[in-house]
Amino acid sequence: MARHGGGRGWYGKVLGAALGVTALALGASVWTAQADAVDGSSPKATASATPGGDLEPVAVTIAHASDKGPRGVNITIDDGPDPVWTPQVLDLLREYGVKATFCVTGTQAEAHPDLVKKVVAAGHRLCDHTVSHDTAMDQKSEAYQSQQILDAERMITEASGGVRPLYYRAPGGAFTPYSRELAASRGMRPLGWNVDTKDFERPGADAIVSTVQREIANGPTVLFHDAGGDRAQTVEALRRVLPWLKEQGYSFGFPVR
């Protein structure tokens, strides 16, 4: 999983909006670390949430595998929701009968709660993508990481009407052991990717489609974006990629938890 830097400058302008939640949520967690496999297929490293809480313990390792097995594909959509592009992505997913995982930022969720609710109502899953998409957060303090992850969790849950994110994806892949453990303690499985379509760079729909066709053998989790700029190429690429994947015998699922 290579780091990508899409949106760092775009999101940096909204940094610092939420500072209320800190690492206190981690204090009562009980950790069991039995393995450090990163493919997510046999998660053994788990975090037990606060006793008496309603959070499901999940593995602290970074998930890549699909719950549909070896011929499964996980479509993941980052950085939104966006009022222009997210509805178009939702329309395409509905047209082809595909469920996806939307990695949303706290600021975008707070700005567009109607779209977060539409994502949930369509049967898609939510993923915490931090408050402000700081791709250098792995170089920041644990208190800062806590604020970014936990405030985003709260903002997303409020925007959705009470549906919590089930995953945590670090911006640009900037995971740390601390951030993975914190997310897992909140029932959010750390989520990676296998295929980076580079759609954030707008290389053209043909290039995005070719990347998926060339690299899907590397693993099932595919990274797209529905915010951060003009996503017309992403929409066009999805229009072509989704039926192609079906023709190849793939089925669409969710990342393992």
Please, where are the H alpha helices in the chain? 8-12, 85-95, 106-111, 113-121, 142-160, 177-185, 205-215, 232-247
Tokens describing residue 243 = 């039926």
The set of residues, in sequence order, having a beta carbon less than 8 Å from that of 169 and lying 6+ positions away, is: 76, 78, 103, 127, 128, 129, 190, 191, 192, 193
Cα dist from 69 to 23, 124, 125, 253, whole Å: 35, 18, 18, 9
> CA 144, 83, 122 angle in degrees (round to 5)?
90
Conformational region of residue 138, where left means phi above 0, alpha means psi within -120 to 50, and beta covers everything else = alpha
- Report d(CA 5, CA 203) in Å as an integer: 15
* 225 flagged as catalytic: yes
Q: Which of 4, 124, 129, 225 is catalytic?
A: 225
Q: Which residue has the tokens 């509905």?
A: 94
Q: Which of 64, 78, 79, 138 is catalytic?
A: 78
**Active site positions, annotated:** 78, 225
